[in-house]
A and B are shown apart, each in its own frame.
Chain A
Amino acid sequence: GAVVSQHPSWVICKSGTSVKIECRSLDFQATTMFWYRQFPKQSLMLMATSNEGSKATYEQGVEKDKFLINHASLTLSTLTVTSAHPEDSSFYICSARLSDKNNEQFFGPGTRLTVL
């Protein structure tokens, strides 16, 4: 089956620093990847759609200058949380769409970010 990986799986950083999270589709090409955020005991909230070769599209209320997305290749998208603050602490999950299979999205294992 299609596999999506994320790196790192967890990260702890100081307030004010920037953190980069990678999302890779390991055995398929993904022209579109999605970034979600999940706070404890809440559901996944779509943050942005990452398109290979073009700018990401952000959902309402998500600051594009704070959450930088780069979809550098058909297998890699990165999310950079700039000037992180404690309220950015969350579980960040990416997904990739396998276009030839029922619109199914495959999710990465997630990245737990803790900002001190």
Chain B
Amino acid sequence: GQNIDQPTEMTATEGAIVQINCTYQTSGFNGLFWYQQHAGEAPTFLSYNVLDGLEEKGRFSSFLSRSKGYSYLLLKELQMKDSASYLCAVDFNDYKLSFGAGTTVTVRA
């Protein structure tokens, strides 16, 4: 089976930085995705990493280390609208995604 771990909850202050870690053990690896999901809605794409290193996209950055089975999503200059669940997902075989349980981020004023 696939095993993807991420923290359950994180809280941060508006304007701060938060780092969400994700570790994975999967039968295969074709890339790692981060998605944002608001309650009752479908996930929306944030980032994709297939090679080691940091991918930066505006206020969001994602890092991957394949040898360590580790990734993180960095959210900078937090805004209230960033309060959501953040899902780490691994493409383990032919575009099939296995998702972590999600990290609920709460941004406080």
Contacts and interface: CB of A to CB of B under 8 A. Distances in A.
Given A44-B43, A44-B97, 6 more contacts: A34-B96, A43-B99, A43-B102, A104-B33, A105-B97, A106-B45
Interface in A38-80: 42-46, 49
A109 B101 CA distance: 19
Interface residues of A, number: 23
A107 B42 contact: yes
B91 A103 contact: yes
B103 to A, nearest CB: 10
Interface of A: 32, 34, 36, 42-46, 49, 91, 93, 95, 97, 102-110, 112
A26 B75 CA distance: 31
A32 B95 contact: yes
Contacts, number: 52
A46 B101 contact: no
29 contacts: A32-B95, A34-B95, A34-B96, A42-B101, A43-B87, A43-B99, A43-B100, A43-B101, A44-B97, A44-B99, A46-B98, A49-B94, A91-B40, A95-B97, A103-B30, A103-B48, A103-B91, A104-B33, A105-B33, A105-B95, A105-B97, A107-B35, A107-B42, A107-B44, A108-B42, A109-B41, A110-B40, A110-B41, A112-B40
A97 B95 contact: yes
A93 B42 CA distance: 7
Nearest to A49: B96
A102 B45 CA distance: 12
Nearest to B92: A46
Given A34-B97, A44-B87, A109 B48 contact: no
Nearest to A32: B95
Given A93-B42, A108-B42, A103 B101 contact: no
Contacts of A91: 40
Contacts of A108: 42
